[in-house]
Structure 1
Amino acid sequence: NALCNYFRSQEEIVLCVASSGIASLLLSGGCTSHFRFKMPIAINETSFCYITKKGHLADLLRSITLIIWDEVPMQNKLCFGAVDRSLKDICSSDKLLGSIPVVLGEDFVQIPPVIRNVEKLISKIHPKQDLDRSLENPHFFFKSAVLTTQNSVVDSLNEMVLDLMPRDSITLLSADTADTSEQENDEIHRLAPEYLQTLNPPSFPPAKLTLKKGCIVMFLRNLNSQKGLFSVLHEDGSGNKQIEVIPRVQLSILEDEYPFILTRKQFPVRLSFAMTINKVQGQSLENVGIDLRNPTFTHRQLYVALSRSTNLKGIRILHQPNSDNTNYSKIENIIYPELLLN
């Protein structure tokens, strides 16, 4: 933001984007890279962004002084390639990113208390009294989260916290269909809705969306960047309650994951008392619970989890006992040295 503000004070145009909605909220005038560059959903090694060479966005890109792109490692390399090809075409240049200066942001570079019980971890991060007062004081939830490595564990943790809330729940069912774009297949067309509702890919809202008044949710699609309706529902900051209309939307997942195209019409939200470590990159919290019953599995994932809290006292870790029955806990920190050298 300091770099951005400096150039803008010189009346230069700076474009701020991030690879996730959460990270983009921390940038001055930021938005997601997918939204700004109009990246395609189905992407490959030859894809281009949906930017017309004579359009307003192309004119803007040709006139900017700098692009600041935060949390770049979260972005698929195919997306970066599509932006590179598009900027070369728009700027009529063979140089990288059309010769537009781009700052790529990411931190490439203390052990808190260890907890043995998942219920205790939840009670530390989302205390019962906060859940009881969630309608009157929703800001509690915006400062706390339980982090873990797997989406299946996230779903389980969210259900546990939701069950602790003292209000009636409502379950919203999706409308699912399956189709194949290449050939007619009677078996696919006969797939029962009950089976399709068992499929819950991470990028989709759940087929059975259970909510309670006062619960916190994450948007799976960017609905309105001007109102802050990015991929996470965050605090207004003014203390005023805001009512937003969120429609059901139709989402499709391509045949790379299933032998058919799964289309789901559902409200584009998920519970977010708990989130994956990857999803929370770029966000700062006061209280963080880290569920490491399933250990971290990739470069710097543990570092990302530990660095989400603004203070050491706000971190709690749930970890399996060591197999040697020693009195201390050992947590593996995965680092790929070759990534640090690049």
Structure 2
Amino acid sequence: MANRRAIESVDTTLRDIMDTEQIFGGKVVVFGGDFRQTLPVIRYGKKEDFIEASLVKSPLIWPTIRRLKLVHNIRANEDPAFCEYLMKIGDGTEQLVGRDKIKIPSSFIIPCTNEDTSLDALFQSVYPNLTCFETDPYSLMSKAILTPKNEIADEINSILIDRFPGESKCYVSFDEPLDSKQMHCKDYLHTLSPAGLPPHKLILKKNCPIILLRNLNPSEGLCNGTRLVCDSFEDHLISCLIAVGEYKGKHVFILRIPLEPSKDENCPIPFKRTQFPIKICFAMTINKAQGQTLDFVGIYLKGPVFSHGQLYVAMSRAKKAESVKMIIFSDDGQNKLTNITNNIVYQEILEYISQSTVTRNKN
């Protein structure tokens, strides 16, 4: 979900271009969003910061918007009980255990013994036979393992690419400090993996799933978040097939480009990484999965979800309850999940949302 200040900047720009004081320069702008899902990311932010960054808190824009309320989760419409459970999670009305925990039904849970065996059980549930994807790589795209943090997703991807059949190809990035006085730190830069950047060593195999990290050519389907299948490898070029959406099956080429970490990543040394703008995507973060529809979802919670809406987003990627399996590690060994702010923030946001004028189904 976009930060309201970015939307306000677009409003200001359009007013300047059109030389008018009308909202968005008199142009029709259509927004889509769900406040049950993840709110704008505010690094080290608190509940008040998430709400303040949301569009509902914009004094100029929100009062002028005509709102259409979407009330049904069509993705899970085939399983009414699962759909109702998701809405309780999203609305924050599911019964709490203690102050900020909810109990996940045992039907979703893969029992935890230790980390290694539990991960193997999750892999077996989501990807029971990796060799079958050599002949049908597109079937990989209907499955994913979701986790709250990038470092855990990277660990899972590293394990699964090793198990994936085929010969590997390793692409090493060129890292360069932005300050010429810090050229001696190049080896240290290789160890950094900021969010939104590909790894220093990118290990790929034919037919493995990858996800694009930048908007390269939206008109041709190459957008941030597009999932692809690797087809062939050259030293400075990767041949891929778009795996989902309108452009599914389209043959595209990915080149190395210079990339810089986001300014809010607080990198100790500002630097530029020249690498292919992709990552392996057997596993991805919950935030990155927002908007995806999957046939089977594995959720790995080594720690609790830490942001509003993450639990709702993770579970609602699937169409049926039987298509969700979870591993939860908790201090007390019980199947509880700390769901910080989810049941609090949404209720407070509702205070700023007036009665909707039209009701539609939610896709």
Q: TM-score, normalised by structure 1?
A: 0.69
Q: Which residue of 1 aligns with 2:78?
A: none
Q: Distance in 1 between matches of 2:23 and 2:61?
A: 18
The answer on whether the counterparts of 1:68 and 1:103 sit within 8 Å (CA) in structure 2 is: no
2:40 equivalent to 1:75? yes
1:296 deviates by: 1.3
The answer on whether the counterparts of 1:70 and 1:105 sit within 8 Å (CA) in structure 2 is: no
Alignment partner of 1:329 out of 296, 317, 335: 335
Q: Distance in 2 between matches of 1:148 and 1:313?
A: 19
Q: Which residue of 1 aligns with 2:172?
A: 173
Q: Distance in 2 between matches of 1:247 and 1:267?
A: 6
The residue identity in structure 1 corresponding to 2:195 is P
List runs of 5+ in structure 1 lacking aligned partners: 1-18, 20-32, 41-45, 89-93
The structure with the greater share of residues assigned to strand is 2
Deviations 1:38-86 (A, max 9, x none): x69xxxxx9778957448xxx99545334223257543579x99999xx
The residue identity in structure 2 corresponding to 1:142 is M
Q: Which residue of 1 aligns with 2:207?
A: 214
| Residues paired across the two proteins, number | 283
Alignment partner of 1:196 out of 189, 211, 216: 189
Q: Which residue of 2 aligns with 1:8?
A: none
Note closer, same or farther for the CA distance 1:159–1:96 as it changes in structure 2 (3 Å cut): same
The answer on whether the counterparts of 1:148 and 1:292 sit within 8 Å (CA) in structure 2 is: yes
Which has the higher relative contact order, 1 or 2, with Cα contacts under 8 A spaced 6 or more apart?
Answer: 2
Alignment partner of 2:109 out of 105, 108, 114: 114
Q: Which residue of 2 aligns with 1:64?
A: 27
2:245 equivalent to 1:244? no
Alignment partner of 2:310 out of 301, 313, 325: 301
List runs of 5+ in structure 2 lacking aligned partners: 43-48, 72-86, 92-103, 113-117, 228-242, 350-363
Deviations 1:239-269 (A, max 9, x none): 9743201121111236651343211111100
Q: Distance in 1 between matches of 2:194 and 2:34?
A: 23
Within 5 Å, give how 1:120-139 maps onto structure 2: 120-128=121-129, 131-139=130-138
Structure 1 stretch displaced more, 278-287 or 67-76: 67-76
Q: Distance in 2 between matches of 1:314 and 1:276?
A: 18
Q: Distance in 2 between matches of 1:341 and 1:97?
A: 16
> Matched residue of 2:312: which SS?
helix
Q: Distance in 2 between matches of 1:71 and 1:267?
A: 32
Q: TM-score, normalised by structure 2?
A: 0.65
Q: Which residue of 2 aligns with 1:28?
A: none
1:169 deviates by: 0.6
- Percent identity, aligned pairs only, is 28
Q: Which residue of 1 aligns with 2:348?
A: 341
Alignment partner of 1:267 out of 270, 276, 284: 276
Q: Distance in 1 between matches of 2:175 and 2:70?
A: 39
The residue identity in structure 2 corresponding to 1:153 is I
The residue identity in structure 2 corresponding to 1:203 is G
Note closer, same or farther for the CA distance 1:287–1:251 as it changes in structure 2 (3 Å cut): same
The residue identity in structure 2 corresponding to 1:310 is K
Q: Distance in 1 between matches of 2:70 and 2:270?
A: 35
